[in-house]
Amino acid sequence: MSVTRYDLLGLAAVDSHDAPEVVAHELEARLGRFAVPAGGERVAEIDLAPLPAEGMPGLAPDHLQSQRGFTLTTVEGHSVAVLPYRAQADIVLLPGDPLRIRYAPRPGVAGKLSALLQYALQCVLLRRDSAMFHGAALVRDGRGLVLTGLQGARKTLVMLNLLRQGWDFLADDRFLLQAGRAHMFHDSIPLMPHHFAALPWLEGQGEAARNFARRAGRMRGIARWCERHIPSYLTPRLAKFHNAPLMVRPDDLFPDCKAVAEAPVSDVVMLVGGITGCKELDLPEAVEPLSIILDVEFQNYLRMALELKVRGVELCPPTVPVLERGLTGARVVELGVPEAASVDETVQEVLRCIARA
């Protein structure tokens, strides 16, 4: 049996047993920087393994159909969550210590498994008074700036502009928050076609960016043709292919940019819509909307966690108390920028906002 272990700062360890190539590749892409030698006395908090060929014992056919994306049942006296696929158990989540995840080793399972694994990691981290935080993080003069907000809040666009202005990179999209410090989760930036559309200068930041921008332009033309000539039920698959990101390291875009593994969180800017202006928030006032931003990232699993809680199984602790302790000492501001504002105007508002400290 082959075992690969990933250890996130000693807070959450994942053991992956006998992973097929497609799953091993996904885990390496997501967690490769946390790989450590397997074994030792410590038991990993999360245990991953393929389902046995005969499937999970105790699952009835009605457990393999769901309009919600999951079903709950009892196996050997314990509540489990089943994520079905084509009337088969695709992924089975078995709460406990360790938290076990079993999956069907089919070619398309990797992305679905990765999403659930990140939620499982969040649950384990919250138990360790830490969190996987949704936002971009940058560093200047040893001070960490966090940009957070719901999807579409322009976090990545602002971050790219600040990197261009000489800030250092810590995270895009997600990082680990622990005891007032931000720790890098991924060392790359997922660039999408809309980033190139909003930032014309981005295409000139290296050969990979230039090639991706050209391919994105061709794909837009192909997508328009397909919308006119291809059945609509195939459109989601085409959109998924069109929206595949370019994973790029920050120093590939900005040669002088440094990647910082960790830094204290000094300022948190929460980008919101519907209002304008910069408002400083007390931490007790800020943690509620911040916790919503974190929870929305895992919305596909919130109902599952709530239904497990009704059965007496607490899968994931609440985020508010962890944020209250994890952001102690940080300055949190809420920044509303008009939708009509340009990216440059948004960047200037962010800089003015944090300069008021």
What is the sign, positive or negative, of the torsion defined by CA atoms of 315, 321, 325, 328?
A: positive
Question: What is the model's pLDDT at position 208?
Answer: 74
b/e per residue, 322-350, with b = 16+ CB within 10 A? bbeebbeebbbbbbbbeeeeebeebbebb
Backbone phi, psi, residue 57, to 5°: -60, 145
Question: What is the model's pLDDT at position 225?
Answer: 64
Distance, in Å, from the CA atom of 4 to the CA atom of 17, rounded to the nearest integer, reads 7
Mean pLDDT, the chain, integer? 89
Distance, in Å, from the CA atom of 241 to the CA atom of 239, rounded to the nearest integer, reads 5
Write out pLDDT tens, residues 168-193.
999 998 999 999 999 999 999 998 88
Average pLDDT over residues 98-104: 96
Q: Are 182 and 330 in contact (CB under 8 A)?
A: no
Q: Are 291 and 319 in contact (CB under 8 A)?
A: yes
Distance, in Å, from the CA atom of 251 to the CA atom of 231, rounded to the nearest integer, reads 42
Question: What is the model's pLDDT at position 232?
Answer: 63
Question: What is the model's pLDDT at position 219?
Answer: 61
Instruction: For residue 103, give every residue at least 6 positions away whose Cβ sits within 8 Å of its Cβ, in sequence order, or none.
Output: 23, 48, 49, 50, 51, 90, 91, 92, 109, 113
Q: Are 37 and 5 in contact (CB under 8 A)?
A: yes
DSSP per position, 148-203: E-STTS-HHHHHHHHHHTTPEEEESSEEEEETTEEEES-SSEEE-HHHHHH-GGGG
Question: What is the model's pLDDT at position 192?
Answer: 87
Instruction: For residue 227, give every residue at least 6 positions away whose Cβ sits within 8 Å of its Cβ, in sequence order, or none.
Output: 235
- Token couple for 91: 């992924």
Going along the chain from its start, the domains and CATH numbers come out as 3-128 (no CATH), 132-188+256-297+313-355 (3.90.228.20), 192-248 (no CATH)
Picking from 119, 70, 74, the residue whose alpha carbon sits closest to that of residue 90 is 70
Distance, in Å, from the CA atom of 294 to the CA atom of 114, rounded to the nearest integer, reads 17
pTM: 0.89
pLDDT band at residue 325 using 50, 70 and 90 as cut-offs: very high
Write out pLDDT tens, residues 21-79.
999 999 999 999 999 998 888 899 999 999 987 777 767 666 566 677 898 988 888 89
Cβ burial of 123 (10 Å; 0-12, 13-18, 19+) is buried
